[in-house]
Amino acid sequence: MKVQIPAEGILKTHDWGNTKTYRVTCECSNPDCDHNVWIEADDQVVVNIYTTTRTNFWSKTRWQHVWTLLTKGYVDTESTICLTEQSAFNYAHTMLSAIDDVKKFRQERKEKSATAKIAEQGDCV
């Protein structure tokens, strides 16, 4: 299996150099299932994946959910995203590639900043 460019199921939504965001789409085409993936590099790389969750409404009646909320303080939720093998492959590759990209961008920015400081100090002498 080969990585696709453009990739099935993966939409790059933003690229700010040290941050890249993607939308990973579900095969059912309901946008509520999609993953919003944020890959950011600051001092370390952080990956955040956002999705919409729902109560497992089929397992209980609404009144049972209300009772659970009143007695436990929360209700269980879950989400599902369905990916083809190709989409899952593209998802994994995109994640690895974006992590490398944001780390390189961050490192280059640090090096430029350090070089600029040295040059600035050289001007003052």
> Residue numbers of the site for Zn ion (CB under 5 A)?
26, 28, 30, 33
Q: How far apart are CA 36 and CA 83, in angstroms?
A: 14
In 3D space, the residue among 12, 13, 42 whose CA is nearest the CA of residue 102 turns out to be 42
Rounded CA gap, 62 and 106, in Å? Answer: 49
- For residues 47 and 102, is the Cβ–Cβ distance under 8 A? no
Of 37 and 41, CB closest to Zn ion: 37
* CB of 83 or CB of 98, closer to Zn ion: 83
Q: How far is the CB of 80 from Zn ion (least distance, A)?
A: 6
Between 17 and 31, name the residue whose CB sits nearer to Zn ion.
Answer: 31
Instruction: Output 32 or 111, the one with its CB closest to Zn ion.
Output: 32
| Least distance (Å) between residue 54 CB and Zn ion | 11
Nearest by Cα to 36 from 17, 12, 5, 55: 12
Please state the closest distance from residue 57 (CB atom) to Zn ion, in A.
16
Query: Smallest distance, Å, CB 25 to Zn ion?
Result: 9
